[in-house]
A and B are shown apart, each in its own frame.
Chain A
Amino acid sequence: MMDALQQLFGPFWPVVWNLAKIVAIILPLMGAVAYLTLAERKVIGFMQVRIGPNRVGYYGLLQPLADGIKLLFKEIILPTAANKFLFLLAPILVLGPALAAWAVVPFDLNLVLADIDAGLLYILAMTSVGVYGVIIAGWASNSKYAFLGSLRSAAQIVSYEIAMGFALVGVLMAANSLNLGKIVLAQAGGFWQWYWLPLFPLFVVYFISAVAETNRAPFDVAEGESEIVAGFHVEYSGMAFAVFFLAEYANMILVATLAAVMFLGGWLSPVPFLPDGFPWLALKVAALLFLFLWFRATFPRYRYDQIMRLGWKVFIPITLVWIVVVGAMMQTPWAYLFH
């Protein structure tokens, strides 16, 4: 069948084949995003001794679908004196990089869209581009609340990117590669060989920075409902607003997957008697995503100056020290911990 298809499309076959692969990644991802919103409402509901959504479908399982349809039929309101082109471009610029980064994420041995050597750098570059959507949304809305939200978000993302980048430097030193697939393979050998153990401070810094990068509670000053209504997307409605939401949850899944790939052994099985495979990655990602929801249900919002202090004065020094420790350890008999 593949040969017949190949003949049908002729020289365009690689394009068609890659598009099919992209669809095969994006569609399940969008499904995961939809049900992550339901999971969030259910989990936070249970933590606050409520039931959560349970009206649409059995156990509320069709709630995300109902939300999507509702948002789809709502009107997109353009604020007066807003820059129309940039106003509509902003949600796309937020979602685009969040999806583009998935190109280098390995789901299983050799199951990756683009197996490039500079994968880790590519991920960092893509996640740093996402901030433009937020800034442009705030500026193009012609609203003070939106503008304040976007400035907060931009400052926060730029600060935490440094700590995040340094945490990844530790990973690439340990794995000796920027290729995400090779980073996973370098952690082979079960639970105690994964990088969470030798790189524990970097793992913690990476995960907390990831929460800050995705503007999630307790770092959600960019939205800050109690002060600036909804921050950068206060002027958005209907599907334009929904795209911001999609991007936030897609980003959460992305950073959780990256944490699982770089510190928790990706698709590798924690015990030798069970086979490796994609279900392990899904399980690890789900566990990390649960942490995101747990944080949101438990912690009060950080003050802005506390966020900046944590990023610059605590995380960056920790990562710098641990990079030196890793470099020194690699010259000692304990270097086997990293390979």
Chain B
Amino acid sequence: MIFQDYVFYALAAILLFAGLRVITTRNPVQAALFLVLAFFTAAGIWLLLEAEFLAIVLVLVYVGAVMVLFLFVVMMLDINLDKLREGFWDYAPLAGFVGVLMALEMVMVLGSKHFGYSAPEKHGADYSNTAELGRLLYTDYVYPFEIASVVLLVAIIAAIALTLRRRAGTKHNDPAKQVRVKRADRIRMVSMPAEKDEPAEGEQK
């Protein structure tokens, strides 16, 4: 075994452990943190597969943004685990079916050499996965890529439009208005003559 194999087995062991703990730990925040660990180790394995762009983007997007928001929600919610576990046996058959399906897919991918496919060749040290991906995405697959990005954009705008509610009576302020304010809008100069402390004329003695 070469050094990379040891690294792979170490990462794979951590990944399996983290994945198991995601579904077995009782604390939802800890489950989310184990999922973060799982993503991070998966990124390590992808690095070994020369997919450095995907690996770093996995950390950047899923660990750096998606899981932060996930953790946010999980921390704010008061999750009752017993209530969540109530429907376990109702969902078990469906979950079992999905699990078997995923196992079958993995067998097909991992055992591809039995179906006549061989593992891809290793690249040299000057191979840049990022540049290659960019070249493919923006030349050969530019239309599918653009269509996919437009679909995502539509989904983002739709999600915002669906959740945007205009409530009456909110105290939001308009920065443009704040910036345009002049002194004259806020202050009124009043000229008041000084009052003299003189006795009135009629009372003079």
Which residues of A line the B interface, CB within 8 A? 86, 116-118, 121-122, 124-125, 128-129, 131-132, 135-136, 139, 147, 151, 154-155, 157-158, 161, 178, 305-306, 309
Q: Which residue on B lies nearest to A309, using beta carbons?
A: B175
- What are some 19 contacts across the A-B interface (CB < 8 A)? A116-B52, A118-B56, A118-B130, A124-B56, A125-B56, A128-B60, A128-B63, A131-B64, A132-B36, A135-B68, A151-B72, A151-B76, A155-B72, A158-B65, A158-B68, A158-B69, A161-B64, A178-B130, A305-B172
CB nearest neighbor in A for B74: A139
Are A117 and B128 in touch, CB under 8 angstroms?
yes
A151 to B68, CA, bound (A): 10
Q: Is the CB of A161 within 8 A of B63?
A: no
State A178–B134 Cα separation when bound (angstroms): 12
Q: Is B59 an interface residue (CB 8 A)?
A: yes
Tell whether, in the assembled complex, residue A121 and residue B130 are in contact, meaning their CB atoms are under 8 Å apart.
yes
Residue in B64, B76, B175 whose Cβ sees the most chain A Cβ within 10 Å: B64
Bound-state Cα–Cα, A154 to B72, Å: 8
Contacts of B57 in A (CB 8 A): 121, 125
Tell me which residues across on chain A come within 8 A of B29, comparing CB atoms: 139
A117→B130 contact, CB < 8 A: yes
> Is the C-beta of B75 less than 8 angstroms from some C-beta in chain A?
yes
Contacts A128-B59, A129-B63 known; A154 to B68 CB distance under 8 Å? yes
Which residues of chain A are within 8 angstroms of B131 by Cβ–Cβ distance? 117
Known contacts A124-B60, A132-B68, A136-B33; 15 further A-B pairs (Cβ under 8 A): A86-B33, A118-B129, A121-B53, A121-B56, A124-B56, A124-B64, A125-B57, A128-B59, A128-B64, A129-B63, A151-B75, A154-B68, A158-B65, A158-B68, A309-B175
Q: Give the shortest distance, in Å, between A107 (CB) and chain B (any CB).
A: 22
Q: A135-B71, A139-B29, A154-B72 in contact; A129/B64 too (CB < 8 A)?
A: yes
Complex interface: chain B residues within 8 A of A117 (CB)? 52, 128, 130-131
What sequence of 0s and 1s flags, for each residue 78-92 of chain B, a beta carbon within 8 Å of any chain A beta carbon? 000000000000000
Q: How far is the CA of A124 from the CA of B56 in the complex (A)?
A: 9
Task: Report how far A121 CA is from B54 CA in the complex, Å.
Answer: 10
Distance A132 CA – B34 CA, assembled complex (angstroms): 12
Least CB distance from B178 to A in Å reads 10
Residue of B nearest to A172 (CB): B130
Given A124-B60, A132-B36, A139-B29, residue A118 in contact with residue B68 (CB < 8 A): no
- Shortest CB distance B24–A (Å): 17
Nearest A-chain residue to B66, judged by Cβ: A158
Residues of A within 8 A of B64 (CB): 124-125, 128-129, 131, 158, 161
Rounded to whole Å, the gap between the CB of B97 and the closest CB of chain A is 35
Expressed in whole angstroms, the Cα–Cα distance for A310 and B108 within the complex equals 50
A118 to B53, Cβ gap below 8 A? Answer: yes
A128, B69: Cα distance in complex, Å: 13
Residues of A within 8 A of B76 (CB): 151
- Cβ contacts under 8 Å, B172 to chain A: 305
Q: Which residues of B contact A305 (CB under 8 A)?
A: 172
B52 A129 Cβ-Cβ under 8 A:
no
Q: Which residue of B lies closest to A176 (CB)?
A: B131
Residues of B within 8 A of A161 (CB): 64-65
- Closest B residue to A178 by beta carbon equals B130
Separation of A131 and B75 alpha carbons in the complex (Å): 15
Contact at B36–A121, with CB atoms within 8 Å?
A: no
Closest to A131 in B: B68
Say how far B86's CB is from chain A's closest CB, in angstroms. Answer: 26
- In the bound complex, residues from chain B placing their C-beta under 8 Å from that of A135 are 68, 71-72, 75
